[in-house]
Chains A and B, each alone.
Chain A
Amino acid sequence: MAKTLEMLVNTLARNVEKHKEMTSGNLAFAEAMRQINPDVVAAYPITPSTEIPMRFAEFVADGQVDTEYVAVESEHSAITACVGASVSGGRVMTASSANGVGLMHEVFPIAAAFRAPIVFGLVNRSLGAPVNIHCDHSDSMPERDSGWVQIYCEDAQEVYDTALLSVRLAEHKDVLTPVFVCQDGFITSHCYEAVEMLSDEAVKEFVGERTPHYPLLDVDNPVSYGSFVMSEHYFEIKRNQMEGMFNVPRVYDEVSKELAAYTGREYPMLDCYRTEDAEYVVVIMSSAAGVVKDVVDDLRNRGIKAGCLRVRMFRPFPREAVKDALAGKKGVAVLDRSASIGGTAPIASEVKSALYDLSEKVPVQEYIFGLGGRDFFPKDAEMVFEMLEENDYTSDARFIGLLEGDK
C-alpha cells in the first residue's frame, strides 16, 4: 500500500500527461514504437503480428517518425537487418510470430552475442505443422536459450508499458541484451481494451537517446563483429555475454520503478496474485492468467485458499522469487501453453528446478493447455484447483481441454 502511494505521489509530482485509448495489443505496441521513434525498423508481415509493421508503415508514410523502415523480403532478413542496424549504433525494433520467429532462429543467438539491444514484439502463435494461426507459446519457447530476455504480457496495457521499459532495459550498459516483448496472438494482439498511454514528450524523456557501445559505424575506431573464434577464446566470450543476462533483474527493477513514476503501474518479474497465504497455486503465463485470477477470487469466496503466480519474466528466470513464492504450499500446478515433446514443458521444468533445494517438498503437477488457441475456460482452472485439493498427481503431464480427454 505504501509503495502504491509512493508511486502515486511520484506520478502526481511529475504531472505526466496521459490519455486513454481503445486499442489492441498489436496497435498498442505500434503506438509505443511511434513514440519511441526508433532509428530502424526492419520487419516482415506474419499473422498475428502483421498489424505492427502495417501500422508503423503508416506512421512512416505520414512522416510521424524519423525511422528508416526496411520492408525486407523475409523474417531472416528482418532480424539480420536489425542486427546490422543495432550494432551500427541505431535504436532498433521489429515484430514477428510463429514460423517467422522460427525462420529467425539462426540469427537470435548472433544478435544476443553481438549485444545488440533490439526490442522485439513477439506475438505468440503456434508453430506449424499443422498450420494454425492462433495462440500458444511454441514459437517463443524454442528461443528461450537464444540469449534474449523474454517478458510475457497479460494484456495490451502491459504490452504498451513493457515496450517502453524494454528499450531502456535492453540498451542499459550493464545489460546490452535484446528483449522479446511477448503477447498472446489474437487474444491480446487483436482484442480491444482501454490502454492508458503517456504523452509523446513523456515517452521521449523516459526512453532518452541510445548511447551505443563500440558502434560499427565508428570508422575512426574500427571494430569487428562476428569474428572467427576457436576453442581458445569462445568459452570466455560466451561467459562474458551471460553477464548481461545476470544483470537483468537489478536493471529491470530500476527501470520499471522509473517507468512507474510516469505511469503509476509497476510490473514485478513475478505477478503474485493472492499467493502469499495461498495453499494451492496455479503457475501460468500471459493472457490466460486472467482466467485463473477470476477463479482464484471465486474460490477465495468459497473459503479455498487459492492463488495465481503469473510468470512475467521467463528469461532470465526469477528462480529465487519463484522458490520464495511457492515454498510451503500444499500443491502447485504449472500450466504450460507449449510442450517440450519428450521432456518436461518449459515453465514446469523451471519451476520444478527452482523448488529442488527446498527442504520440504512442494508437489507439482505439470499441465499442457491451449495449444493452437484451444480455449481455456474458468471450469478448466477450477478443475486444476480441485485436483490439487484432492492431492491428485501424476508424474506425466496432463492435458487440459483435449476432446478425447487427457490420455
Chain B
Amino acid sequence: MCPGCGAPTALRQAFMGIDAPVVVVGATGCLEVSTTVYPYSAWRTPFMHVAFENAGAAVSGVEAAYKAMKNKGNFKENIKFVAFGGDGGTYDIGLQSLSGALERGHDFTYICYNNQGYMNTGAQRSSATPQNASATTSPAGSVLPGKLQRAKNLTEIVAAHNIPYVAQTSLHNPMDLIMKVKRAVETPGPAFVNILVPCPLFWRIDQGDQVKLCKLAVDSKFWPVYEVENGVYSLSYTPKSEVPVEEFLKAQGRYAHLFKKGKERPDIVEHAQKEIDAEWEKLKGKCEK
C-alpha cells in the first residue's frame, strides 16, 4: 500500500474484532492487489478474489457451499465470512451484487473501506466522492468546481434492505471500529460496515494525517458514526464541539480550488455546511425514534 493509506489501518482493526476462523473475499481494488501479490499473501486466512463487481455474489456462493457441506456434516467448526471492497467496488460497480446478497440473507459481513473514489486506477470520481472534490474524472477547472453531484448515501441504501446490522465508522476510533465489526460478524445474517478511510494521494493530505482527517470528518458531522441494529438507529458519537466543515475541507488538497486566493468559493462551502447540518438533523431524527 502507499505510505499513509488508511485501508490497512482500517482492515487490521476490523480483523481484531473477529475471533472465529474466517474466509475472506475481496473485490478488486488497492487492498486486494497489494495484499495478494503472487507467490505471496498478506492473508493468514483463506482468501478469494473473483473480480471487481461481484464480491457480494462470490461470498454468497462460498457461504452457500459451506451451509450445504455443513448440513452433510463435513464441517464441525463455525466459519465466518467477510467480504470487502472499496467504495468503487461497493457503491458503484458492485452495488447490484451486494444488494442481491443482502436481500438473500446470506450470513456474512461486508466491509466497505471508503476512500471516496477509485484509487487503484488513480483517483477517479465515484458515487462516494463528495460534491466539489476534485478527482481525475471530475477535475476542478476554470469552469467546474470539481464533482458536481452529491455523494450517494450507501449506508442508508443498505439499511433499507432491512438487514440485521448496519454501521458507519471511522479508523480514528479503533474501539468503535473493532466493536462494530465484532457485532457485525457475530450477528447471524448479512451485516454491513462502512469505514471512512483517507487516501493521501487523492485527498492530498500528509501521509501522517489519516487519523487527524478522520477525526475532522466525524467532528464536522461530515461522516457521522452510527449503527442500525434490526432497524433501530443509534448515534455512536456526538461531537462535543462541532467543527465547521470548512476546516475539514481546507485540510485537503482535493478542495484547494475552493480556497484559492482571489477565487474563493464561500458560497460552496456555506452550501456544504447547510447540507451537512440538514443530513445530521435527519439522522438524529431517526435515532430519536
Chain A interface (Cβ within 8 Å of chain B)? 39-40, 42, 66-68, 70-74, 76-78, 80-90, 92, 106-107, 110, 216-219, 222-230, 233
Interface residues of B in 90-136 (CB under 8 A from A): 96-97, 99-100, 103-104
Give Cα A227–Cα B26 distance, bound, in whole angstroms. 10
With known contacts A71-B104, A72-B100, A219-B79, A85–B46 Cβ distance under 8 A? no
With known contacts A92-B65, A227-B41, A233-B39, A70–B51 Cβ distance under 8 A? no
Interface centre among A76, A80, A86 (most CB of B within 10 A): A80
Give Cα A206–Cα B49 distance, bound, in whole angstroms. 33
> Which of A70, A225, A227 meets B64, CB within 8 Å?
A70
Interface residues of B in 22-62 (CB under 8 A from A): 22-23, 25, 32-34, 36-39, 41, 43-51, 53-54, 56-62
With known contacts A226-B48, A227-B36, A77–B65 Cβ distance under 8 A? no
Smallest CB-CB A-B distances: 5 pairs: A84-B61, A81-B61, A73-B100, A90-B65, A77-B57
With known contacts A222-B46, A228-B33, A80–B103 Cβ distance under 8 A? no
Give Cα A141–Cα B186 distance, bound, in whole angstroms. 46
Give Cα A42–Cα B79 distance, bound, in whole angstroms. 21
B66 interface hit (Cβ, 8 Å): yes
Give Cα A83–Cα B44 distance, bound, in whole angstroms. 22
Give Cα A224–Cα B44 distance, bound, in whole angstroms. 10
Chain B interface (Cβ within 8 Å of chain A)? 21-23, 25, 32-34, 36-39, 41, 43-51, 53-54, 56-62, 64-69, 71-72, 74-75, 77, 79, 96-97, 99-100, 103-104
Q: Smallest distance from the beta carbon of A186 to chain B beta carbons, Å?
A: 29
| A84 pairs with B103, CB closer than 8 A | no
Q: Smallest distance from the beta carbon of A85 to chain B beta carbons, Å?
A: 4
| A84 pairs with B48, CB closer than 8 A | yes
| B50 pairs with A89, CB closer than 8 A | no
| A83 pairs with B61, CB closer than 8 A | yes
User: Cβ of B47: which chain A residues have Cβ within 8 Å of it?
Assistant: 222-225
Give Cα A40–Cα B97 distance, bound, in whole angstroms. 18
Give Cα A224–Cα B23 distance, bound, in whole angstroms. 10
Interface centre among A67, A87, A89, A224 (most CB of B within 10 A): A224
Q: Which residue of A lies closest to B67 (CB)?
A: A68
| B62 pairs with A66, CB closer than 8 A | no
User: Cβ of B62: which chain A residues have Cβ within 8 Å of it?
Assistant: 84-85, 87-88, 216-217
User: Cβ of A92: which chain B residues have Cβ within 8 Å of it?
Assistant: 61, 65
> Which of A39, A40, A228 meets B32, CB within 8 Å?
A228
Q: Smallest distance from the beta carbon of B78 to chain A beta carbons, Å?
A: 10
With known contacts A68-B67, A72-B100, A217–B79 Cβ distance under 8 A? yes
> Which of A76, A80, A216, A228 meets B23, CB within 8 Å?
A216
Q: Which residue of A lies closest to B37 (CB)?
A: A228
With known contacts A89-B65, A217-B23, A225–B48 Cβ distance under 8 A? yes
Q: Which residue of A lies closest to B54 (CB)?
A: A80
> Which of B36, B49, B61 meets A88, CB within 8 Å?
B61
Give Cα A250–Cα B214 distance, bound, in whole angstroms. 60
